[in-house]
Structure 1
């Protein structure tokens, strides 16, 4: 069977990409992903939020000292404390560029850079250009704006997506993908409009930090770090709905925990899939098992190419397209039509 596919204009030997995570945070881990059979990697994101927090912590600490002594040494010279924000950004970028350049030298598979835009996204256009210059095969913009800012109109927040995306696609020659969440008022329309900006691909969907509560300590804690197989449902549905309605590639992410999940996303219309949680649980070598399942299934169904079945069960091509629009559970499937359970 031929498992090759094309994503963002890049020729991939199969549709499995190791998503941006700790699994792609070092050159050694990138090499392990290639050895396991992954077709590409998205490097662990450079986080705007982390830079902002590091700067805030530094300024909080510096505030305890007299104003006249609020300077620090950088590259052999003393500079004002206010300059530290620039230094934090530059140092983080230097480390990331080094990771990118060394990863490119170490592996033959495509290496994509990732920028996590959280606060002041427009400032990161120059970062994207520097990552392109460092040799990234593609760029993934991971964008999200806190929904708890009730003073900022929804339209203002959404407009930033288009502003950043359109600017990046105009300034970069390498392909760009946008990784988004499903937290939009009109998700289908938003996906379609974003696909028309000149973006190379959309990754559906992002997975965010989810707080938990420790009832014994009465403290907020982190939990639900990894996705579960049931998380597949949201991205599977929207990949299927949008597969024939967008002007770019669609990659599926979150909830893909085995070879069957890969097959389902391809049948729904995905061009590629990104995996992470299942590799944390089973080891990076698990990529091989997922590929074996895909290949054996294609052999059984007599598909030689992925293109032979991609999108076969998308909404547009399904024999029952209305099933993707259904919201409530009904007794329809039990023989009693139109009765809500």
Structure 2
């Protein structure tokens, strides 16, 4: 019998599969189905700072009392936060897996008090989802990274539970930022967030949304950067996200240094039952390979030796195509 337990950001998980933040983790009923199918932890559906502000602005547009703007904005925020805290309490009382709260934020000072409430409600960790595309021509190149660090510092200093960060792949030097986040108090990073996909409808000549769900082909960036960074930035946990659809994908991520993986699209497509299939596949592979624990093979293929580092750092196709003529 193999042992598939793991540790992510200081949390003990019965297996490496984490349900990613999405509509799948928005209610107790949905979370219970994931737990019943064996998930190791869940990340609650994100509370969006921008969405709360938009709701407040919408209410102010219909108000005859503009001077009540601050009150309305605070009321909306308080109501949304109260619902979120109640969800945490309900899930913690009904489920026996770690519950990670998720905040989608873009300012350093907006959520520090809320983080304390999250901790008091019983959440086991907080995942910060700081996703923003910088388009200001005059913005300093390091402003965006400083924003990440300031948010982590502000929230990590207020709570005792682990703080993790879900990163975008659109960052210039990911290993350097992860090292700074570690120094700022982050206990784990998730690579990577899936951004909104922009597409074009050529018949209607308008912008539209691209494909929402991932495929297993989307895993490659996560493998590259976890493999590179886990070899040089220690004392922080790594979680692979975007493209984890099978046991094979989860095993790949762990081999390059991931402590856990997040699943979302595969669960939407195949239902919560896919979690059990993935877990069974991991166990069968471990038995075939003679591994007794996840720790025995975690990071075996990361960039800690020159040969592996060269493979992870390769960006050009020249060598591949020169052999494929």
* Same fold per superposition (TM over 0.5): yes
- Give the aligned partner of residue 169 of structure 1: 156
**Which of 60, 65, 68 is the equivalent residue of 1:70?**
65
Q: Does 2:32 align with 1:37?
A: no
Q: Does 2:180 align with 1:190?
A: no
Taking structure 2 as the reference length, the TM-score comes to 0.94
1:81 positional shift: 3.8
Taking structure 1 as the reference length, the TM-score comes to 0.90
Distance in 2, matches of 1:306 and 1:46, equals 32
For residue 189 of structure 1, give the secondary structure of its aligned residue in structure 2.
Answer: helix
Residues 52-63 of structure 1 aligned to structure 2 (within 5 Å): 52-62=53-63
Residues 5-20 of structure 1 aligned to structure 2 (within 5 Å): 5-20=6-21
Q: Deviations over 1:14-47 (max 9, x none)?
A: 0000010011000011111111110000000100
Moved segments of 4+, more than 3 Å = 317-320, 331-336
- In structure 2, runs of 5+ residues without a counterpart are none
**Which of 186, 195, 198 is the equivalent residue of 1:208?**
195
Question: Are the counterparts in 1 of residues 245 and 266 from structure 2 also a CA contact under 8 Å?
Answer: yes
Q: Deviations over 1:58-106 (max 9, x none)?
A: 23333xxxxxx427xxxxxxx9243111011101101101111100011
1:124 positional shift: 1.0
Go from structure 1 to structure 2 and tell me whether the alpha carbon gap of 1:2 and 1:122 turns closer, same or farther (over 3 Å shift): same
Distance in 1, matches of 2:193 and 2:271, equals 21
For residue 184 of structure 1, give the secondary structure of its aligned residue in structure 2.
Answer: coil
* Corresponding residue pairs, total: 323
Q: Does 2:42 align with 1:2?
A: no
- Give the aligned partner of residue 133 of structure 2: 146
Distance in 1, matches of 2:130 and 2:287, equals 39
For residue 156 of structure 2, give the secondary structure of its aligned residue in structure 1.
Answer: helix
**Which of 239, 242, 245 is the equivalent residue of 1:257?**
245
**Which of 89, 100, 113 is the equivalent residue of 1:126?**
113
- Give RMSD over aligned pairs: 1.8
- Give the aligned partner of residue 46 of structure 1: 47
Residues 91-130 of structure 1 aligned to structure 2 (within 5 Å): 91-118=79-106, 120-130=107-117
- Give the aligned partner of residue 232 of structure 2: 245
Question: Are the counterparts in 2 of residues 312 and 318 from structure 1 also a CA contact under 8 Å?
Answer: no
Question: Are the counterparts in 1 of residues 108 and 154 from structure 2 also a CA contact under 8 Å?
Answer: no
For residue 80 of structure 1, give the secondary structure of its aligned residue in structure 2.
Answer: helix
Question: Are the counterparts in 2 of residues 311 and 317 from structure 1 also a CA contact under 8 Å?
Answer: no
1:335 positional shift: 5.2
- In structure 1, runs of 5+ residues without a counterpart are 63-68, 72-78
Q: Does 2:315 align with 1:327?
A: yes
For residue 290 of structure 2, give the secondary structure of its aligned residue in structure 1.
Answer: coil
Question: Are the counterparts in 2 of residues 2 and 304 from structure 1 also a CA contact under 8 Å?
Answer: yes
For residue 113 of structure 2, give the secondary structure of its aligned residue in structure 1.
Answer: helix
- Give the aligned partner of residue 24 of structure 2: 23
Distance in 2, matches of 1:140 and 1:153, equals 26
* Bigger radius of gyration: 1
Distance in 2, matches of 1:149 and 1:47, equals 22
**Which of 262, 270, 287 is the equivalent residue of 2:258?**
270
Residues 304-319 of structure 1 aligned to structure 2 (within 5 Å): 304-317=292-305, 319=307
Q: Deviations over 1:201-225 (max 9, x none)?
A: 0111111111222222222222221
- Give the aligned partner of residue 279 of structure 1: 267
Distance in 1, matches of 2:180 and 2:146, equals 11
